[in-house]
Amino acid sequence: MRLTAKQIALHDDQRDLGAAGRAALVRAFGRLFPAAGRVLDAGGGTGWAVPLLEAAGLTAVLADLSADMLAAAATDTPRVRGDLTALPFAGGGFDGVHASYAIQNVPDWTAAICECVRVLRPDGVAVVAWGGPSPDPMVRDVSAFYFAQLGQWAGTAGQRQGLSSTAAGAAQVERAGCVAIAPVTITGAQTRTLRQLVVRMATNPFRGDPPADLARTARATTLAWAAKRYGDLDRPRTVEVAHVLYGYRRL
């Protein structure tokens, strides 16, 4: 899938946790991953997490299937184009694997999980963000309306192709040879207009690939509905964001 600069920028905008959220994430990475470890950011996209891993004293390697995401990376961390279902790394070579909102995008997500565990050394830690509904009631409401407009196209490509829940993913990580450690929730806030939130939602290339005319109609209908329900589309609003990290230790 080719990605435009706009799609990539809007995708990454979702990860903005604000300064306090970013600081909390650095602390969480420091607690979860083995100290001074080498961490694979698997399906890491443009590597938004890399500076935060590095700030936690870790060394990162970025891997992603998308040449466009890798080319947009603002980091000089080593980057490798590779498929999560066949990672181009030897077994046991990493102290940690960070996979945020990536495994659920892979049709063969069980293979992706096996690969993430294979490259971990014993006692190494995988940290997975499986994704889930927004903590913000307005964003959840608008998102539900938008995806309802898409009908059969709603949902992530990964979900449509098999990963039905966080529990299913977690069970597979455990079958692959890990034990779960307590999840950590990082919260933050973003100030965005409702229009920006709807456009971002409708531009996300990783939430399925509806036909262009259906996507255009869904976006326009959602903007009109949101303006009626919530008022001024262009007024900045502060919305809650959350990033839930599920940790797994390799046996």
Ligand X SMILES: C[S@@+](CC[C@H](N)C(=O)[O-])C[C@H]1O[C@@H](n2cnc3c(N)ncnc32)[C@H](O)[C@@H]1O
Residue with tokens 């326009």: 220
Q: Give, as ranges, the residues between 210 and 249 that touch ligand X (CB under 6 A).
A: none
Under the criterion CB under 6 A, does residue 60 sit at the interface with ligand X? no
Under the criterion CB under 6 A, does residue 206 sit at the interface with ligand X? yes
Whichever of 9 and 144 has its CB closer to ligand X, that residue is 9
Q: Give, as ranges, the residues between 175 and 204 that touch ligand X (CB under 6 A).
A: none
Cβ(225)–Cβ(29) below 8 Å: no
For the chain, the straight-line distance linking the first and the last C-alpha, in angstroms and rounded, comes to: 36
Query: x/- binding map, residues 28-47, to ligand X, per CB under 6 A?
Result: ---------------xxx--
Q: What's 249's DSSP letter?
A: E
Whichever of 192 and 226 has its CB closer to ligand X, that residue is 192
Q: Shortest approach of ligand X to residue 163 CB, angstroms?
A: 12
With the C-alpha atoms ordered 27, 241, 12, 168, is the resulting torsion angle positive or negative? positive
Strand-strand pairing, 120-129 and 237-250: antiparallel
Q: Which residue is nearest to ligand X (CB)?
A: 45
Under the criterion CB under 6 A, does residue 66 sit at the interface with ligand X? yes
Q: Give, as ranges, the residues between 83 and 142 that touch ligand X (CB under 6 A).
A: 83-85, 100-102, 105-106
Cβ(96)–Cβ(39) below 8 Å: yes
Residue with tokens 């077994």: 91
Cα(103)–Cα(212) distance, integer angstroms? 25
Whichever of 119 and 226 has its CB closer to ligand X, that residue is 119
Among 61, 69, 173, 194, binds ligand X (CB under 6 A): 69
Q: What's 33's DSSP letter?
A: S
Q: Which residues bind ligand X (CB under 6 A)?
A: 15, 43-45, 48, 64-66, 69, 83-85, 100-102, 105-106, 206
